[in-house]
A and B are shown apart, each in its own frame.
Chain A
Protein backbone atom coordinates (compact mmCIF):
# COMPACT_ATOMS: atom_id res chain seq x y z
CA UNK A 1 0.00 0.00 0.00
CA UNK A 2 1.34 3.41 -0.90
CA UNK A 3 0.06 6.66 0.52
CA UNK A 4 0.09 10.23 -0.55
CA UNK A 5 -1.06 12.65 2.10
CA UNK A 6 -1.74 16.31 1.60
CA UNK A 7 -3.15 19.17 3.62
CA UNK A 8 -5.07 21.84 1.79
CA UNK A 9 -5.82 25.22 3.23
CA UNK A 10 -9.42 26.49 3.14
CA UNK A 11 -8.50 28.28 -0.05
CA UNK A 12 -7.24 25.08 -1.69
CA UNK A 13 -3.56 25.86 -1.37
CA UNK A 14 -1.51 22.76 -0.62
CA UNK A 15 0.31 23.47 2.60
CA UNK A 16 1.83 20.08 3.29
CA UNK A 17 2.63 17.00 1.20
CA UNK A 18 4.13 13.69 2.02
CA UNK A 19 4.36 10.33 0.30
CA UNK A 20 5.01 7.18 2.21
CA UNK A 21 4.39 3.48 2.08
CA UNK A 22 2.89 1.07 4.51
CA UNK A 23 4.85 -0.15 7.47
CA UNK A 24 2.40 -2.89 8.27
CA UNK A 25 3.01 -6.48 7.39
CA UNK A 26 6.66 -6.08 6.74
CA UNK A 27 6.34 -2.98 4.61
CA UNK A 28 9.41 -0.80 4.50
CA UNK A 29 7.57 2.52 4.58
CA UNK A 30 8.60 3.53 1.09
CA UNK A 31 5.97 4.65 -1.35
CA UNK A 32 5.71 2.69 -4.58
CA UNK A 33 3.07 4.23 -6.73
CA UNK A 34 1.95 2.81 -10.02
CA UNK A 35 3.10 5.80 -11.91
CA UNK A 36 6.65 6.21 -12.88
CA UNK A 37 8.57 8.61 -10.69
CA UNK A 38 8.30 11.24 -13.33
CA UNK A 39 4.53 11.29 -12.96
CA UNK A 40 4.25 12.11 -9.28
CA UNK A 41 1.92 14.93 -10.16
CA UNK A 42 -0.69 12.29 -10.86
CA UNK A 43 -1.18 11.87 -7.12
CA UNK A 44 -1.83 15.55 -6.68
CA UNK A 45 -4.08 15.52 -9.69
CA UNK A 46 -6.20 12.70 -8.33
CA UNK A 47 -6.38 14.19 -4.89
CA UNK A 48 -7.44 17.58 -6.11
CA UNK A 49 -10.04 16.07 -8.36
CA UNK A 50 -11.79 14.75 -5.29
CA UNK A 51 -12.33 18.23 -3.90
CA UNK A 52 -15.67 18.62 -5.62
CA UNK A 53 -16.99 15.51 -3.97
CA UNK A 54 -15.54 16.63 -0.69
CA UNK A 55 -17.33 19.93 -0.87
CA UNK A 56 -20.61 18.18 -1.37
CA UNK A 57 -19.99 15.75 1.44
CA UNK A 58 -18.92 18.59 3.68
CA UNK A 59 -22.46 19.87 4.09
CA UNK A 60 -24.21 16.57 4.51
CA UNK A 61 -21.95 15.02 7.09
CA UNK A 62 -21.06 16.98 10.18
CA UNK A 63 -18.25 14.70 11.25
CA UNK A 64 -14.67 15.72 10.90
CA UNK A 65 -13.57 12.40 9.44
CA UNK A 66 -15.51 11.83 6.24
CA UNK A 67 -14.03 8.42 5.53
CA UNK A 68 -13.42 7.20 2.03
CA UNK A 69 -15.01 9.70 -0.31
CA UNK A 70 -13.64 9.11 -3.76
CA UNK A 71 -12.07 6.47 -5.94
CA UNK A 72 -10.09 6.86 -9.08
CA UNK A 73 -10.41 3.43 -10.70
CA UNK A 74 -7.79 3.71 -13.46
CA UNK A 75 -5.11 3.94 -10.81
CA UNK A 76 -7.19 2.17 -8.16
CA UNK A 77 -6.54 5.15 -5.92
CA UNK A 78 -8.76 5.64 -2.90
CA UNK A 79 -9.17 8.94 -1.18
CA UNK A 80 -10.09 9.53 2.44
CA UNK A 81 -10.79 12.96 3.80
CA UNK A 82 -10.73 14.72 7.13
CA UNK A 83 -12.06 18.22 7.58
CA UNK A 84 -10.92 20.47 10.36
CA UNK A 85 -13.55 22.85 11.72
CA UNK A 86 -11.58 25.79 10.43
CA UNK A 87 -11.77 24.49 6.89
CA UNK A 88 -8.41 22.84 6.30
CA UNK A 89 -8.68 19.56 4.39
CA UNK A 90 -6.57 16.50 5.11
CA UNK A 91 -6.63 14.21 2.09
CA UNK A 92 -5.08 10.79 1.99
CA UNK A 93 -4.66 8.89 -1.23
CA UNK A 94 -4.06 5.22 -0.79
CA UNK A 95 -3.18 2.84 -3.51
CA UNK A 96 -2.93 -0.88 -2.96
CA UNK A 97 0.09 -2.56 -4.45
CA UNK A 98 -0.41 -3.82 -7.92
CA UNK A 99 -0.95 -7.48 -8.53
CA UNK A 100 1.37 -8.85 -11.14
CA UNK A 101 -1.45 -10.49 -13.03
CA UNK A 102 -3.57 -7.38 -13.39
CA UNK A 103 -0.73 -4.99 -13.74
CA UNK A 104 1.16 -6.67 -16.53
CA UNK A 105 -1.00 -5.32 -19.29
CA UNK A 106 -1.49 -1.87 -17.85
CA UNK A 107 0.29 0.97 -19.52
CA UNK A 108 0.55 2.72 -16.21
CA UNK A 109 2.15 -0.28 -14.58
CA UNK A 110 5.28 0.19 -12.59
CA UNK A 111 8.19 -2.10 -13.05
CA UNK A 112 7.60 -5.76 -12.48
CA UNK A 113 9.99 -5.63 -9.56
CA UNK A 114 7.61 -3.33 -7.70
CA UNK A 115 4.65 -5.46 -8.48
CA UNK A 116 6.24 -8.63 -7.30
CA UNK A 117 7.57 -7.21 -4.08
CA UNK A 118 4.17 -5.74 -3.37
CA UNK A 119 2.40 -8.98 -4.00
CA UNK A 120 4.64 -11.00 -1.76
CA UNK A 121 4.05 -8.53 1.04
CA UNK A 122 0.39 -8.76 0.46
CA UNK A 123 0.37 -12.49 0.38
CA UNK A 124 2.16 -12.73 3.69
CA UNK A 125 0.14 -10.11 5.52
CA UNK A 126 -3.54 -10.07 6.21
CA UNK A 127 -5.76 -8.33 3.77
CA UNK A 128 -6.55 -5.54 6.21
CA UNK A 129 -4.03 -3.09 4.96
CA UNK A 130 -4.52 -3.99 1.36
CA UNK A 131 -8.25 -3.48 1.27
CA UNK A 132 -8.78 0.27 1.22
CA UNK A 133 -12.47 0.20 2.02
CA UNK A 134 -12.53 -2.29 4.86
CA UNK A 135 -13.66 -1.03 8.28
CA UNK A 136 -10.24 -1.79 9.66
CA UNK A 137 -8.66 0.49 7.13
CA UNK A 138 -11.20 3.20 7.83
CA UNK A 139 -10.39 2.98 11.51
CA UNK A 140 -6.67 3.05 10.90
CA UNK A 141 -7.03 6.10 8.70
CA UNK A 142 -9.21 7.75 11.31
CA UNK A 143 -6.55 7.23 13.95
CA UNK A 144 -3.93 8.56 11.59
CA UNK A 145 -6.04 11.61 10.82
CA UNK A 146 -6.64 12.44 14.46
CA UNK A 147 -2.94 12.30 15.16
CA UNK A 148 -2.32 14.61 12.26
CA UNK A 149 -5.06 16.86 13.56
CA UNK A 150 -3.34 17.15 16.91
CA UNK A 151 -0.09 18.23 15.31
CA UNK A 152 -1.97 20.52 13.00
CA UNK A 153 -3.71 22.28 15.90
CA UNK A 154 -0.35 22.78 17.55
CA UNK A 155 0.96 24.31 14.36
CA UNK A 156 -2.07 26.53 14.01
CA UNK A 157 -1.70 27.78 17.58
CA UNK A 158 1.76 29.10 16.88
CA UNK A 159 1.80 32.86 16.75
CA UNK A 160 4.12 32.67 13.77
CA UNK A 161 1.71 30.64 11.75
CA UNK A 162 -1.02 32.22 9.68
CA UNK A 163 -3.82 30.29 8.14
CA UNK A 164 -2.87 29.14 4.64
CA UNK A 165 0.86 29.18 5.20
CA UNK A 166 2.91 26.22 4.09
CA UNK A 167 3.91 24.01 7.00
CA UNK A 168 7.64 23.58 6.77
CA UNK A 169 8.49 22.40 10.23
CA UNK A 170 10.59 19.25 10.11
CA UNK A 171 9.18 18.27 13.47
CA UNK A 172 5.71 18.36 12.02
CA UNK A 173 6.86 16.19 9.14
CA UNK A 174 8.44 13.69 11.45
CA UNK A 175 5.26 13.59 13.53
CA UNK A 176 3.23 12.79 10.43
CA UNK A 177 5.73 10.16 9.38
CA UNK A 178 5.53 8.61 12.81
CA UNK A 179 1.74 8.61 12.71
CA UNK A 180 1.83 6.96 9.29
CA UNK A 181 4.18 4.34 10.55
CA UNK A 182 2.03 3.70 13.55
CA UNK A 183 -1.33 3.34 11.87
CA UNK A 184 -0.94 2.70 8.17
Chain B
Protein backbone atom coordinates (compact mmCIF):
# COMPACT_ATOMS: atom_id res chain seq x y z
CA UNK B 1 0.00 0.00 0.00
CA UNK B 2 2.90 2.28 -0.49
CA UNK B 3 1.95 4.58 -3.26
CA UNK B 4 -1.76 4.16 -3.81
CA UNK B 5 -3.06 6.64 -1.22
CA UNK B 6 -1.26 9.43 -2.96
CA UNK B 7 -2.59 8.36 -6.32
CA UNK B 8 -6.06 8.09 -5.05
CA UNK B 9 -5.99 11.64 -3.89
CA UNK B 10 -4.63 12.69 -7.21
CA UNK B 11 -7.16 10.90 -9.26
CA UNK B 12 -9.82 13.51 -9.16
CA UNK B 13 -7.39 16.13 -10.33
CA UNK B 14 -5.85 14.13 -13.08
CA UNK B 15 -9.19 12.99 -14.34
CA UNK B 16 -10.93 16.30 -14.32
CA UNK B 17 -8.32 18.31 -16.09
CA UNK B 18 -6.73 15.66 -18.23
CA UNK B 19 -8.90 16.53 -21.20
CA UNK B 20 -8.44 13.03 -22.51
CA UNK B 21 -11.47 11.22 -21.24
CA UNK B 22 -11.06 7.55 -21.81
CA UNK B 23 -12.21 4.30 -20.39
CA UNK B 24 -10.22 3.00 -17.49
CA UNK B 25 -8.55 0.39 -19.60
CA UNK B 26 -7.18 2.65 -22.28
CA UNK B 27 -5.27 5.00 -20.00
CA UNK B 28 -3.30 2.15 -18.53
CA UNK B 29 -0.13 2.30 -20.55
CA UNK B 30 1.48 4.82 -18.24
CA UNK B 31 4.41 2.56 -17.60
CA UNK B 32 7.14 2.25 -20.17
CA UNK B 33 6.22 -1.36 -20.91
CA UNK B 34 2.53 -1.27 -21.69
CA UNK B 35 1.03 -4.74 -21.54
CA UNK B 36 2.92 -6.06 -18.56
CA UNK B 37 0.57 -7.84 -16.19
CA UNK B 38 -3.11 -8.37 -15.90
CA UNK B 39 -3.01 -6.63 -12.49
CA UNK B 40 -2.40 -3.44 -14.38
CA UNK B 41 -6.05 -3.28 -15.20
CA UNK B 42 -6.96 -2.56 -11.60
CA UNK B 43 -8.13 0.91 -10.84
CA UNK B 44 -4.72 2.49 -10.65
CA UNK B 45 -4.51 6.16 -11.42
CA UNK B 46 -1.31 8.03 -11.73
CA UNK B 47 -0.69 11.69 -11.03
CA UNK B 48 -1.34 14.00 -13.93
CA UNK B 49 2.36 14.39 -14.60
CA UNK B 50 2.59 10.58 -14.83
CA UNK B 51 5.29 10.39 -12.22
CA UNK B 52 4.74 8.00 -9.39
CA UNK B 53 7.26 7.76 -6.59
CA UNK B 54 8.73 4.81 -8.46
CA UNK B 55 9.68 7.10 -11.33
CA UNK B 56 11.55 9.52 -9.16
CA UNK B 57 15.20 9.40 -8.39
CA UNK B 58 16.46 8.56 -4.95
CA UNK B 59 19.78 10.22 -5.44
CA UNK B 60 18.84 13.81 -6.00
CA UNK B 61 20.37 14.79 -2.74
CA UNK B 62 23.38 16.77 -3.77
CA UNK B 63 21.80 20.20 -3.60
CA UNK B 64 18.66 19.25 -1.78
CA UNK B 65 18.61 21.25 1.40
CA UNK B 66 16.09 21.32 4.16
CA UNK B 67 15.26 24.30 6.27
CA UNK B 68 16.68 23.89 9.71
CA UNK B 69 13.91 26.05 11.12
CA UNK B 70 11.16 23.90 9.69
CA UNK B 71 12.87 20.84 11.08
CA UNK B 72 13.16 22.54 14.46
CA UNK B 73 9.44 23.37 14.50
CA UNK B 74 8.53 19.87 13.37
CA UNK B 75 10.72 18.28 15.99
CA UNK B 76 9.37 20.60 18.66
CA UNK B 77 5.87 19.46 17.75
CA UNK B 78 6.98 15.84 17.85
CA UNK B 79 8.32 16.33 21.36
CA UNK B 80 5.14 18.11 22.40
CA UNK B 81 3.10 15.30 20.89
CA UNK B 82 5.14 12.65 22.64
CA UNK B 83 4.71 14.55 25.87
CA UNK B 84 0.96 14.06 25.92
CA UNK B 85 -0.25 11.46 28.34
CA UNK B 86 3.20 10.35 29.38
CA UNK B 87 3.82 9.23 32.91
CA UNK B 88 7.40 10.33 33.27
CA UNK B 89 10.68 11.16 31.67
CA UNK B 90 11.48 7.57 30.84
CA UNK B 91 8.14 7.14 29.21
CA UNK B 92 8.71 10.26 27.17
CA UNK B 93 12.15 9.09 26.07
CA UNK B 94 10.68 5.74 25.15
CA UNK B 95 8.12 7.43 22.93
CA UNK B 96 10.73 9.54 21.20
CA UNK B 97 12.78 6.41 20.73
CA UNK B 98 9.82 4.67 19.13
CA UNK B 99 9.32 7.57 16.78
CA UNK B 100 12.89 7.29 15.58
CA UNK B 101 12.99 3.52 15.22
CA UNK B 102 11.12 3.15 11.91
CA UNK B 103 13.18 5.95 10.48
CA UNK B 104 16.32 3.95 11.23
CA UNK B 105 14.98 0.94 9.36
CA UNK B 106 14.17 3.04 6.32
CA UNK B 107 17.38 5.00 6.36
CA UNK B 108 19.38 1.81 6.39
CA UNK B 109 18.11 0.73 2.99
CA UNK B 110 18.40 4.22 1.60
CA UNK B 111 21.94 4.58 2.90
CA UNK B 112 23.05 1.42 1.17
CA UNK B 113 21.19 2.26 -1.97
CA UNK B 114 22.85 5.63 -2.16
CA UNK B 115 26.30 4.34 -1.40
CA UNK B 116 26.05 1.63 -4.05
CA UNK B 117 24.86 3.94 -6.75
CA UNK B 118 26.93 7.03 -6.06
CA UNK B 119 30.11 5.62 -7.47
CA UNK B 120 31.81 4.65 -4.25
CA UNK B 121 33.56 7.81 -3.17
CA UNK B 122 30.82 10.01 -1.80
CA UNK B 123 29.43 8.00 1.04
CA UNK B 124 31.77 5.15 1.71
CA UNK B 125 33.53 6.22 4.82
CA UNK B 126 37.23 6.43 5.17
CA UNK B 127 37.18 3.81 7.87
CA UNK B 128 34.68 1.24 6.76
CA UNK B 129 34.10 0.08 3.30
CA UNK B 130 35.49 -0.36 -0.12
CA UNK B 131 33.43 0.66 -3.09
CA UNK B 132 30.61 -1.87 -2.91
CA UNK B 133 29.62 -1.52 0.71
CA UNK B 134 28.99 -4.65 2.63
CA UNK B 135 26.33 -5.38 5.12
CA UNK B 136 27.98 -5.14 8.51
CA UNK B 137 28.52 -8.58 9.98
CA UNK B 138 30.47 -7.63 13.06
CA UNK B 139 29.84 -4.96 15.64
CA UNK B 140 32.72 -2.73 14.69
CA UNK B 141 31.80 -2.21 11.04
CA UNK B 142 28.27 -1.52 12.17
CA UNK B 143 29.46 1.15 14.58
CA UNK B 144 31.61 2.72 11.90
CA UNK B 145 28.61 2.71 9.62
CA UNK B 146 26.61 4.63 12.21
CA UNK B 147 29.42 6.92 13.22
CA UNK B 148 30.32 7.82 9.65
CA UNK B 149 27.89 7.35 6.75
CA UNK B 150 24.70 7.39 8.76
CA UNK B 151 25.68 10.53 10.65
CA UNK B 152 26.68 12.19 7.43
CA UNK B 153 23.40 11.26 5.82
CA UNK B 154 21.51 12.78 8.72
CA UNK B 155 23.67 15.68 9.82
CA UNK B 156 26.28 16.13 7.10
CA UNK B 157 29.14 15.39 9.43
CA UNK B 158 30.53 12.44 11.32
CA UNK B 159 29.82 11.84 14.96
CA UNK B 160 32.48 13.10 17.32
CA UNK B 161 33.62 9.99 19.13
CA UNK B 162 33.19 6.26 19.23
CA UNK B 163 34.20 4.36 22.32
CA UNK B 164 34.02 0.92 23.80
CA UNK B 165 33.07 0.49 27.42
CA UNK B 166 36.19 0.19 29.54
CA UNK B 167 34.48 -1.83 32.21
CA UNK B 168 35.07 -5.58 31.83
CA UNK B 169 31.55 -6.25 33.12
CA UNK B 170 29.93 -4.59 30.18
CA UNK B 171 31.77 -5.60 27.03
CA UNK B 172 28.53 -5.20 25.11
CA UNK B 173 28.38 -1.44 25.65
CA UNK B 174 29.57 1.06 23.10
CA UNK B 175 29.27 4.82 23.07
CA UNK B 176 28.85 7.26 20.26
CA UNK B 177 29.28 10.90 21.15
CA UNK B 178 27.83 13.91 19.45
CA UNK B 179 29.05 17.22 20.79
CA UNK B 180 26.12 19.22 19.55
CA UNK B 181 23.18 17.12 18.37
CA UNK B 182 21.14 18.89 15.74
CA UNK B 183 17.86 17.91 17.35
CA UNK B 184 18.79 19.60 20.61
CA UNK B 185 20.02 22.85 19.10
CA UNK B 186 17.00 24.88 20.09
CA UNK B 187 15.80 22.85 23.02
CA UNK B 188 16.22 23.87 26.62
CA UNK B 189 15.00 21.21 28.94
CA UNK B 190 13.36 22.56 32.09
CA UNK B 191 15.31 22.03 35.27
CA UNK B 192 12.81 19.64 36.78
CA UNK B 193 13.27 17.31 33.82
CA UNK B 194 17.01 17.58 33.58
CA UNK B 195 17.46 13.86 33.01
CA UNK B 196 15.62 14.12 29.74
CA UNK B 197 17.49 14.22 26.49
CA UNK B 198 15.40 14.68 23.37
CA UNK B 199 18.11 13.03 21.33
CA UNK B 200 16.36 9.86 22.47
CA UNK B 201 14.81 10.25 19.05
CA UNK B 202 18.21 9.81 17.44
CA UNK B 203 18.85 6.90 19.78
CA UNK B 204 15.73 5.35 18.28
CA UNK B 205 17.11 5.89 14.81
CA UNK B 206 20.32 4.15 15.81
CA UNK B 207 18.36 1.33 17.35
CA UNK B 208 16.44 0.90 14.12
CA UNK B 209 19.66 0.71 12.15
CA UNK B 210 21.15 -1.86 14.53
CA UNK B 211 18.03 -3.99 14.57
CA UNK B 212 17.69 -3.76 10.82
CA UNK B 213 21.21 -5.11 10.40
CA UNK B 214 20.39 -7.96 12.74
CA UNK B 215 22.11 -6.56 15.80
CA UNK B 216 19.60 -6.52 18.58
CA UNK B 217 20.42 -3.51 20.70
CA UNK B 218 19.07 -1.01 23.17
CA UNK B 219 20.17 2.54 22.59
CA UNK B 220 19.73 5.45 24.96
CA UNK B 221 20.82 9.08 24.93
CA UNK B 222 22.53 10.70 27.90
CA UNK B 223 23.54 14.24 28.70
CA UNK B 224 27.23 14.72 29.26
CA UNK B 225 27.69 18.48 29.08
CA UNK B 226 31.11 20.01 29.07
CA UNK B 227 32.11 23.63 29.40
CA UNK B 228 32.60 23.90 25.70
CA UNK B 229 29.71 21.70 24.57
CA UNK B 230 26.69 22.28 26.79
CA UNK B 231 24.48 19.87 24.88
CA UNK B 232 27.03 17.11 24.39
CA UNK B 233 25.19 13.81 24.16
CA UNK B 234 26.41 10.27 24.51
CA UNK B 235 24.48 7.50 22.82
CA UNK B 236 24.90 4.30 24.75
CA UNK B 237 24.48 1.15 22.67
CA UNK B 238 23.89 -2.07 24.55
CA UNK B 239 23.94 -5.12 22.35
CA UNK B 240 21.94 -8.17 23.26
CA UNK B 241 23.43 -11.48 24.36
CA UNK B 242 22.61 -13.15 21.07
CA UNK B 243 24.68 -10.55 19.27
CA UNK B 244 27.64 -11.05 21.59
CA UNK B 245 27.49 -14.80 21.15
CA UNK B 246 27.39 -14.52 17.41
CA UNK B 247 30.24 -12.05 17.60
CA UNK B 248 32.38 -14.69 19.30
CA UNK B 249 31.48 -17.32 16.73
CA UNK B 250 32.24 -15.00 13.86
CA UNK B 251 35.51 -13.97 15.41
CA UNK B 252 36.58 -17.59 15.63
CA UNK B 253 35.54 -18.07 12.05
CA UNK B 254 37.74 -15.14 11.12
CA UNK B 255 34.99 -13.06 9.58
CA UNK B 256 35.44 -9.36 9.61
Any A–B CB pair closer than 8 Å: yes
Residue A45 is within 8 A (CB to CB) of chain B in the complex: no
Residue A153 is within 8 A (CB to CB) of chain B in the complex: yes
Residue B109 is within 8 A (CB to CB) of chain A in the complex: yes
Contact mask B30-54 → A, CB, 8 Å, 1/0? 0111001101101010100000111
The interface size bin for chain B is: 35 or more
A156 to B112, CA, bound (A): 13
A102 to B246, CA, bound (A): 45
Residue B88 is within 8 A (CB to CB) of chain A in the complex: no
Structural contact, A149 and B1, CB atoms closer than 8 A: no
A152 to B111, CA, bound (A): 13
Q: Nearest Cβ distance between residue A21 and chain B, in whole angstroms?
A: 13
Residue A48 is within 8 A (CB to CB) of chain B in the complex: no
Structural contact, B109 and A169, CB atoms closer than 8 A: no
Residues on the A chain within 8 Å of B111, using CB: 85
Residues on the A chain within 8 Å of B105, using CB: 86, 156, 163
A97 to B11, CA, bound (A): 43
The residue in chain A whose Cβ has the minimal distance to the Cβ of B214 is A87
The interface size bin for chain A is: 35 or more
User: Which residue in B33, B44, B110, B134 is a CB contact (below 8 Å) of A62?
Assistant: B134
Given A157-B106, A172-B54, A177-B36, 20 more A-B residue pairs with CB atoms under 8 Å apart are A59-B137, A63-B135, A83-B135, A84-B112, A85-B111, A85-B112, A85-B213, A86-B105, A86-B212, A153-B58, A156-B106, A156-B110, A160-B1, A165-B1, A169-B3, A169-B54, A171-B46, A173-B37, A174-B33, A174-B36
The residues of B with any CB-CB pair to A shorter than 8 Å are 1-5, 31-33, 36-37, 39-40, 42, 44, 46, 52-54, 56, 58, 102, 105-106, 108-113, 116, 132, 134-137, 141, 212-214, 246, 250, 253, 255
The residues of A with any CB-CB pair to B shorter than 8 Å are 10, 58-60, 62-64, 83-87, 146, 149-158, 160-163, 165-175, 177-178, 181
